[in-house]
Amino acid sequence: MTALDHYHARMQRVLDHIDQHLDSDLDLETVSSVAAFSKFHFHRQFKATFGVSLHRYVQLARMRQASHQLADGEGPSVTDIALSAGYETPDAFARAFRQRFGQSPSGFRKSPDWEPWLQAFGPLNRARSKLMQTTFTPDQVTIRDVAPTRVAMFEHRGDPETMDGTIQRFIAWRRSAGLSPKTNPTFNIWYTERRPADPADYHMDLCVGVDADQAIEPEGGSVRAGEIPGGRCAVLRVTGDTHNLEPAALYLYRDWLPTSGEEMRDFPIYCQRFFLDEPEQGAAAELFLPLK
């Protein structure tokens, strides 16, 4: 085991300990001792490794557990869930829950809205994926004949750091248009690399599949009708952390394509996103590389 592997193993122990002790005291001294790191440096080590503070990570992990308990329907009362999540009062918990997920705890218990729920846990999923590098193999890539898909396209141009705002507007727009992810598929189309030299050059579309006769209501000039063309595509499925699909795209371009004998068609790489059978388990994505 290399020094880096050993370091990552110690950090993985920390994540495992947090997952197993969400109802316990998870202060800096307790958590740093799990990995045998100095408490005077651990908060910076954690942020440097996972891209999110220890406090924020624990807060998100507890909120995820609380939302699972709510969605179960037969679990503890909202008051007990609030206290277990580290909130002093149910009102404080309800305010934080509504701010993060757009629903009250009681509303989520009756009818969970999973799309904003998954979006809210992006920082948690990205943090966990730092130590779990995904590898791909040629047998995971399939070639399909894809039918053309009419879509409503919600454009994002500019710094990718501002994507969260665009995603929230996209979710609000599709909700107001009655285009549920359960009935209308979600696509992303990338026209530039994930981190262009000039962030202002970043360009991608968030799309919703619509019926041929379905009207598309514009929203501030951001939404337009479009089509994802049909044709042959190399398809790679990704589960778990789907917020960063760049490793999967790089695998297709760098490893799969040169040995496949295939040539790319003149349309950008894109993906379709969808929930797993149980939405609270997360999402999956299929990456499409258009071929001639």
User: Does 144 have pLDDT greater than 70?
Assistant: yes
Question: CATH number of the domain at 138-290, please?
Answer: 3.20.80.10
Question: CATH number of the domain at 3-129, please?
Answer: 1.10.10.60
> Of 78, 85, 86, whose CA–CA distance to 110 is shortest?
78
User: What digits encode the pLDDT tens for the residues 253-284?
Assistant: 999 999 999 999 999 999 999 877 665 556 78
Give 42's Cβ-side CA count (13 Å radius): 18
Amino acid at 230: G
Tokens representing 8 are 């990552």
Which of 14-18, 66-70, 71-75, 164-168 bottoms out in mean pLDDT, i.e. has the lowest?
71-75
For 226, phi then psi, to 5°, come to -160, -175
User: What digits encode the pLDDT tens for the residues 92-131?
Assistant: 999 999 998 889 999 989 888 877 887 788 788 778 777 7
d(CA 52, CA 172): 26
Same fold for the pair 3-129 and 138-290: no
Give 287's Cβ-side CA count (13 Å radius): 22
Amino acid at 105: P
Q: Sketch the domain layout of the chain as residue ranges.
A: 3-129, 138-290
Task: Report the percentage of the chain scoring pLDDT > 70.
Answer: 94
Tokens representing 1 are 């085991």
Residue whose entry in the numeric block shows the structure tokens 């479009």: 226
pLDDT of residue 132: 63
d(CA 31, CA 45): 12
pLDDT of residue 129: 72
User: What digits encode the pLDDT tens for the residues 191-211?
Assistant: 988 778 888 888 999 999 998
pLDDT of residue 267: 95
